[in-house]
Structure 1
Amino acid sequence: MAANATATALEDRWRDILAAHARTLCEIDRALHPHGLGASDFEVLDLLAAENPQAGDQCRVQNLVGRVHLSQSALSRLIGRLEKDGLVERTVCAEDRRGVWVSLTGKGRALHARVLPLQRAALERSLGQVPGQALGQG
């Protein structure tokens, strides 16, 4: 009986996590949609801005794969769309022809800076006040 209660509690917690994730992604998507971005688009721009704080800095696409919660092929398609929109540039790694570098363009850096407060506000709305929990406690 205790095993069933533990399993049920674990399943309930998992469903709560999934619900918070879905709610947060929808909130971010709503906030960024007027700017032509979705949550995953922003996540890539945000990671590139953090990894490449200076104009011209580059990041290997491979370094983004485990951080954006997309498959490698979905990430490649997303980067292709961002490149088509002029927000990122891709170049082949000279040392390893299989590797691909990606960097923010000036347009991408400006858009990221413009929508960053919108994304952070969406996070705050969605995750800032967890019932019965202080922010930062788990």
Structure 2
Amino acid sequence: MAAKKSERVLVQEWRDVLSLHARTTCELDRALHEYGIGASDFEVLDVLAESTPADGGSAFRVQELAAHVHLSQSALSRLVARLEKAGLVARGMCGEDRRGVRVALTDAGRQRHAEARPLQRAVLKRMLDERATAPGA
């Protein structure tokens, strides 16, 4: 019986994580709408603005970016295409591997990120604080 209860607790904890993620993503999508972006869009802008690619350059390879934002390469490619169309990122060929694509923030992307960042961080703080103070947390 103890093993079954432990398994139930494990599954419930997992479902709580999924629920928090879903609620937070919805909140972020609503909050970031005024900036014309969603949670995943912001996540890409945030990585580009605040992280350094493995090679120390200023642009991320799409594969490297996918590992940071936890999207499939195809989903990320579509997202990057939308951000590029909006003028927030620029894509270019990798110098060392002509098959690869690099993504970098544009000045407009850097500005949009800077404008949206305080709101995004406030939503994260509120959602994570609510989780920490929820009964059973």
Deviation per CA, 1:65-113: give whole Å up to 9, x if none: 1121211100000000000000000000121011111100010000000
Three-state SS of the structure 1 residue aligned to 2:133 is coil
- Which structure: greater helix fraction? 2
Matched, 1:131 2:133: yes
Q: CA deviation at 1:48?
A: 0.1
Runs of 4+ in 1 over 6 A off after TM superposition: none
Superposed counterparts of 1:111-126, under 5 Å:
111-126=112-127
Question: RMSD of the TM alignment (CA)?
Answer: 1.8
Counting aligned pairs with the same residue, the percent is 59
| Whole-angstrom distance in 1 between the partners of 2:24 and 2:86 | 25
In structure 2, the partner of 1:46 is 46
Q: TM-score, normalised by structure 2?
A: 0.89
Q: CA deviation at 1:62?
A: 1.4
Unpaired runs of 5+ residues, structure 1, are none
| Whole-angstrom distance in 1 between the partners of 2:35 and 2:19 | 25
In structure 2, the partner of 1:108 is 109
| Whole-angstrom distance in 1 between the partners of 2:97 and 2:51 | 20
In structure 2, the partner of 1:76 is 77
Q: Does the CA contact (< 8 Å) of 1:51 and 1:59 recur in 2?
A: no
Q: CA deviation at 1:128?
A: 2.2
Q: TM-score, normalised by structure 1?
A: 0.89
In structure 2, the partner of 1:91 is 92
| Whole-angstrom distance in 2 between the partners of 1:132 and 1:30 | 22
Superposed counterparts of 1:60-71, under 5 Å:
60-71=61-72
Match of 1:36, as an amino acid? G
